[in-house]
Chain A
Amino acid sequence: MQDNTLLQMRHINKVFPGVKALNDVDFTLRKGEIHALMGENGAGKSTLIKILTGVYGMDGGEITVEGMNVTIHSPQDAQNKGISTVYQEITLCPNLTVAENMYIGREESAVVLHKKYEKRANEILKKLGIPARASQQLGSCSLAVQQMVAIARAVDMECKVLILDEPTSSLDDKEVNMLFKLMRDLKDQGVGIIFVTHFLEQVYEVCDRITVLRNGELVGEYLIEDLPQVELVAKMIGKELDELSDFGEIEEKQFDEKDIFYEAESLSSSEAMPFDFCIHKGEVNGFTGLLGSGRSESVRAIFGADKVNGGTVKIKGENVKITKPIDAMKHGIGYLAEDRKRDGIIAELSVRENIILALQVMKGFFKPISRSEAEAFADEYIKVLNIKTASRETPVGSLSGGNQQKVILARWLLTHPDYLILDEPTRGIDVGTKLEIQKLVLKLAEDGVSVTFISSEVEEMLRTCSRLIVMRDRHVVGELKGSDLNQTQVMKTIAGGETQNEG
């Protein structure tokens, strides 16, 4: 054992009902390194991390921290042993203040000394450059800031091992850079960082080493210099690389005026500024822009998810009124929400019930889908979308993120929509599933379904969309198609005239 080994996990095994989540996995973390843990959904990354943080017990194997054998009983216990985590989904309390969130559950004395903690919290926030006040309610901060507060909390606990589970999935570029700077600072102080992400570029930007898992087994540990990006992807998905580029070019489709499926004029909601928008039958378009640019708010207005304030909407040329989700659904519109946990899954209900939910709502209260019919639907989509679940009766909350997303996709596909809005369908999802979803989008378009696709990854949108609507500061600032659809042009439009050097 080398001197600088900080954490070692050996022969880790974990079995869930019906699934072997981890099979004899080793993992080693050294002092002062940033170590990427990579793998597809269901590869076992989250499970490994939950074992390390005491959320799950393990069924076999051993963990040593600085050469000492340890057993981790609970997340609290992990924190005491210097292992801190920032999870993919924010697990703080939105109704407490920022300072309370940073110190909750770890006060030294029973009396909470608000003033003292607020002062300390403010210092840390300032040092890390997080735009929040300690006395502010956490819920009033943006998703990105909430995430950073979670990191600040972990940093303040003077941890030896810092686990970042998808910390960047809700951050924009500037915030990501800020986080990376912080990670490098911590690394110089000798902290070992485990970084779980789906953004390959980010791995190559900050990490020193990569451990790859696949289907609950260890593929290998590599130095970053030794593993080019393409090979990493191949190791993660275990497929031939050719399949990755199997997309081909999207053929330039010509749309007629009369093919317009949905058209909105100065549509606005309580969250979205007035905007014009249209989509043709069988077209894939996208909304892009930085976080908070209004892209999600705009599509929510189309679906009637927020209170619609004004504007005229036409479907197939006829005036319609869409003020709430059920109106949109009745006109053949489906909407996969950005926040899967909050707006998508009904966690405790089964995969079957989650899949039939939207169809059931459309059929109406008095026409329930029979059990056998529902089972047939569930089985069909579990197969078509290759959903990895122990059975159709498994609660959807116990599936991995990517598979939860597929269940929600299945829910909307089952309604056979004419127009499907997908807001960040690939966020927090592995490369393999991402490709599957992109392919599915293109296939839907071929079958005549209109799709609006939103993603934080511009590259992904360029691959699927034939038209991009660019938003900045809650306004549409451009529409790109044809030869303008390239990374540079998109960046330029997003950034606007004065900050072109960012592109």
Chain B
Amino acid sequence: MTLSVELLPESTLRDVIGLLVRLIESAGALIIFIGAVWAFVQFVAAGVRGRGKVAGFNRIRLSLGRFLVLGLEFQLAGDVLRTAVAPSFAEIGQLAAIAAIRTALNYFLGREIAQERAEIERGETAPPAQGGKGLPT
């Protein structure tokens, strides 16, 4: 015999977590969407202005990458929350696949952002003349 006091019924827990997951994933999707629209506006504006602004191009890509990473962080938070209630193995498998994709992408995006930032900083600090050993300002 087990004595169980149901302070929080499982169905309520599922509902609450489902709502939270939706909210968090929506926030992540919204961040990604806003980042994409912002980057689109910037690319089109830069494209209309003309060529010769490659540094600006890299900066826009860097910002888009940051938006993607931020949105991914939210979506990963939703995945973590979803593990609290995973009723079937099929759902756990799907969750694992999605979380693996998001984690891998988060890692690669982080690396790409670091590389892009390093390239931009190198472009800013290295003057065209000889002996360019200036430190980042």
> A and B: partners?
no
- B binding-site residues for A, Cβ under 8 Å: none
- A binding-site residues for B, Cβ under 8 Å: none
